[in-house]
Structure 1
Amino acid sequence: MPCFSTEVCAWIHTCAHRSLQHKECQGPSSGRFSDSHELSELVYSASNLLVLLNDWILRKELQRTMPVSLPQQKLLTWLSVLECVEVFAEMGTARVWGEMGRWTIIVLIQLAKAILRLLLLLWYKAGIQTSPPIVPLNREQQQPLHPQDMEGNSSGKDQTYVGRRSSRVVRSLQSTPSLQSRHWGSPQQREETQSRRAEEMNQHPTPLGLQETFAESVYITRPLLHLLSLGVWGQRSWKPWLLSAILDISSLSLLSDLKDLNRRERAELRRRTVLLLYYLLRSPFYDRYSEGRILFLLRLLADYVPGLGFVTRPLMDYLPAWQKIYFYNWG
């Protein structure tokens, strides 16, 4: 079965989005303006689901299962599916059922995600929750095992020799692998890559103490508390914005005391720290302070920096629609 990489799916989404933007520029008479964002997000969601399905097939064929139990794999899969379709579900529901349906589907999806994440945290001791829940496979590094490769590995050092002058490890002609699994790196480089890959796949989550479990629970339930505060104080109030910021910063500060995190967990904490910049794009801060300055900067770059207009002008057109979508900013 053909393998569809994440980069290919992202390219499909970009091409579809550009073509739909081109149709928008033709004017409202084309009848495409109101459909473009939904269609673009549909392509993007479908491509992500395709990657998820294809990764599952590859893992099954290569017999490289995740180092978690089967019920935990199912929870991670459902969580990944929700993250793939949440934006399209919001946009599609808003188009069919209006604002009331939009906020209903937002609450339902956030509630389902919080329940799944709390189960992973409290029941399965999954540690720090990462995004995406299931990391896409790197297809360039996935090589099936062939009988010839197994025979080559069993003979060990007899399959290579070291040059006298260069001290370079060279593979002998007899140990050349099959065409499907052939690579042009040195044997040492391949062994180091495979060992590092196996180590990363089998890394267990860092055990969390009471303080860290509470901090992660705060991060998981923060979207629900933000939605509740929006219902109480309204979308124009500063209180939901401040409450969400306090919860995010508190969770990060409590988790920063953790030692001996694995590579993926450290990357997740860095990602959460960078995502604090999203508060500049969230209402009401965006409406009162950021919008004019950001648009002015983008317009300045488009007018005075050659070549950047191809990026900044579509961004200026798309930013208002992007800022109104809840799952782009708060999900």
Structure 2
Amino acid sequence: MGAAKLWGEAGRWLVIVLIQVAKAILRCLLLFWYRSGIQTSPPLIPLDRDSLLSSHDNSAEEDDEDTSVVGQRSGRVVRPLGSAPSLQSLLWGLPRKNKRSRDGEEELQSSPTPLGLQETIAESLYIARPLVHLASLGICGKRSWKPWIISGLLEITSFSLLSDIKTLNRRERAEMRRRAFLLLYYLLRSPFYDRYSEMKILFLLRFLADYVPGVGLVARPLMEYLPIWQKIYFYNWG
């Protein structure tokens, strides 16, 4: 948007192309040089502070699990006085493992799934898709169906080839589900949106706003903002 104000339409498209080229180069470096496998979004695992704090609070209790004594007659679990923590950090519950912290550690330690030739080609197609889309836009124009069809075919081909992998880790499976959901966004991309989706979506929102109590508070502002959002999204869908 800043480039469009400073340098006009040509400057905006130049900035978009430079950003997409830089992203493609870095992703290819990760794929071929560092063997990063299927590249997830976000690329870094978000820090779960609640899990870390809970793990820290229970660390003393987990360390003392092996020193607990089970009464022969009562069967109750008792912690010896010598292994008890200080009164400030004393917890009166039974020793237990923190499942969330274990899942977080496994997720951090899990290595990316090695990709064969077919899977590497599929991931390369996914990385190259924005550049191919921009090139086809420049050749065929914004109103042509060819960029929409070419980009969709590349994304569907990449997803189909990668879906054959059966040994994905947790983050990679989440990334595949995200990519499958993003295929629905093609219904909101021009020119399909301009020809087919726009009237049906606006009719549905108008129907819900008129006949479903309370929905109008959300549906009517959405109807006004949808054309602006779609225009911005159409230029940033790479």
Q: Same fold (TM over 0.5)?
A: yes
Q: How does 1:9-28 map to 2 (within 5 A)?
A: none
**CA deviation profile, 1:212-266 (whole Å, cap 9, x unmatched):** 0000000000000000000000000000000001000000111111111001101
Single out whichever of 137-146 and 124-133 deviates more from structure 2: 137-146
- Secondary structure class of the residue paired with 2:50: coil
Calculate the TM-score normalised by the size of structure 2: 0.86
Name the counterpart of 2:65: 156
CA shift in 2, pair 1:116/1:97, >3 Å: same
Q: Which runs of 5+ in 1 are unaligned?
A: 1-90
**CA deviation profile, 1:260-284 (whole Å, cap 9, x unmatched):** 1001101111111110111101110
Counterparts of 1:186 and 1:314, CA distance in 2: 52
Counterparts of 1:319 and 1:184, CA distance in 2: 55
Name the counterpart of 2:11: 101
**Of residues 111, 116, 119 in structure 1, which corresponds to 2:21?**
111
Counterparts of 1:289 and 1:278, CA distance in 2: 13
- Verify the 8 A CA contact 2:55 2:101 in the aligned structure 1: no
- Verify the 8 A CA contact 1:128 1:265 in the aligned structure 2: yes
- Secondary structure class of the residue paired with 2:53: coil
- Verify the 8 A CA contact 2:202 2:223 in the aligned structure 1: yes
Counterparts of 2:58 and 2:44, CA distance in 1: 29
- Verify the 8 A CA contact 1:212 1:254 in the aligned structure 2: yes
Greater relative CO, 1 or 2 (CA 8 Å, sep 6+): 2
Amino acid at match of 2:209: A
CA shift in 2, pair 1:152/1:228, >3 Å: same
Q: How does 1:26-65 map to 2 (within 5 A)?
A: none
Name the counterpart of 1:188: 96
Deviation, structure 1 residue 285: 0.4
Counterparts of 1:222 and 1:168, CA distance in 2: 62
- Secondary structure class of the residue paired with 1:217: helix
The structure number with the bigger radius of gyration is 2
Amino acid at match of 1:317: E
**Of residues 11, 21, 36 in structure 2, which corresponds to 1:126?**
36
CA shift in 2, pair 1:97/1:177, >3 Å: farther
- Verify the 8 A CA contact 1:170 1:187 in the aligned structure 2: no
- Verify the 8 A CA contact 1:323 1:329 in the aligned structure 2: no
CA shift in 2, pair 1:232/1:268, >3 Å: same
Calculate the TM-score normalised by the size of structure 1: 0.63
- Verify the 8 A CA contact 1:127 1:207 in the aligned structure 2: yes
Deviation, structure 1 residue 207: 0.2
Q: Does 1:137 align with 2:44?
A: no
- Secondary structure class of the residue paired with 1:297: helix
CA shift in 2, pair 1:130/1:325, >3 Å: same
- Verify the 8 A CA contact 1:111 1:224 in the aligned structure 2: yes
Superposed CA RMSD: 3.1
Q: Does 1:292 align with 2:199?
A: yes
Counterparts of 1:245 and 1:169, CA distance in 2: 60
Q: How does 1:1-331 map to 2 (within 5 A)?
A: 91-143=1-53, 152-158=61-67, 174-175=84-85, 187-190=95-98, 192-326=99-233, 330-331=237-238
CA shift in 2, pair 1:136/1:150, >3 Å: closer
- Secondary structure class of the residue paired with 1:257: coil
Deviation, structure 1 residue 193: 2.8
Q: Which runs of 5+ in 2 are unaligned?
A: none
**CA deviation profile, 1:194-220 (whole Å, cap 9, x unmatched):** 222211111100000000000000000
- Verify the 8 A CA contact 1:322 1:328 in the aligned structure 2: no
CA shift in 2, pair 1:244/1:203, >3 Å: same
Amino acid at match of 1:205: P
Identity score, percent: 62
Aligned length: 235
Counterparts of 2:93 and 2:190, CA distance in 1: 51
